[in-house]
């Protein structure tokens, strides 16, 4: 499974591609940051994020895109920019028919470090260890994007089984009502 992780942001949008399956060693395919100038118009910044994500999708051809779920922050301006960058990433994936999964920051931290309250240094250290890298990816947005991809690879099998069970239950329940 090849996953593009996206840590959305307007100034720095972390991107990272990881390949592998749960229970086996994972491989980092690529990591980076899509940057936009803080003084540019919002529309131009969103266009730059789209161009950057499209480039990553073209180059790495992921099967899934994992995006950090935007959560409420005290700074409304920051959360709006994050939400807008997140929407651009989801749009780029949807345009290509690539499934998108949203993961909360605490879910990602728990998957990678074992603690939903881990700090950025702990996440970077575990990403480095799990992907057998020589040093933590910089900036932290890049490490967070890899952590999102790792989280998705590890959690997708269980989520898929759950979705299949719900679909099967719904099909049986619907069949029982129409009979």
> Cβ distance 111 to 154 under 8 Å?
yes
Q: Which of 39, 41, 68, 144 is catalytic?
A: 68
Is 141 annotated in a binding site? The answer is yes
> Cβ distance 33 to 27 under 8 Å?
no
| Nearest CA-CA partner of 146 in 134, 132, 160, 131 | 131
**Dist CA 129 CA 168 (whole Å):** 39
| Nearest CA-CA partner of 62 in 146, 131, 132, 124 | 146
**Dist CA 97 CA 64 (whole Å):** 9
Is 7 annotated in a binding site? The answer is yes
Q: Which of 50, 54, 63, 141 is catalytic?
A: 141
**Dist CA 157 CA 94 (whole Å):** 21
- The answer to whether 58 is a known catalytic residue is no
- The answer to whether 7 is a known catalytic residue is yes
Is 68 annotated in a binding site? The answer is yes
* Residues annotated within a binding site: 7, 68, 141
Q: Which residues belong to the annotated binding site for Mg(2+)?
A: 7, 68, 141
Residues with a known catalytic role: 7, 68, 141
């Amino acid at each position: 499974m090849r996953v593009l992780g996206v840590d959305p942001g307007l100034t720095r949008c972390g991107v990272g591609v990881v390949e592998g399956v749960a229970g086996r060693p994972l491989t980092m395919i690529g990591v980076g940051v899509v940057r936009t100038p803080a003084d540019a118009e919002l529309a131009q910044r969103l266009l730059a994020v789209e161009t950057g994500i499209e480039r990553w999708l073209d180059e790495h051809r992921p099967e899934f895109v994992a995006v950090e779920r935007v959560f409420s922050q005290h700074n409304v301006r920051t959360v709006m920019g994050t939400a807008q960058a997140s929407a651009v990433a989801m749009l780029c994936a949807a345009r290509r028919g690539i499934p998108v999964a949203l993961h909360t920051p605490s879910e990602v931290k728990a998957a990678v470090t074992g603690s939903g309250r881990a700090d950025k240094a702990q996440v970077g250290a575990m990403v480095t260890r799990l992907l057998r890298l020589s040093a933590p990816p910089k900036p932290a947005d890049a490490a967070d994007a890899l952590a999102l991809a790792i989280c998705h690879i590890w959690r997708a099998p269980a989520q898929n089984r759950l979705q299949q069970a719900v679909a099967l239950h719904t099909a049986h329940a619907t069949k029982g009502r129409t009979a």
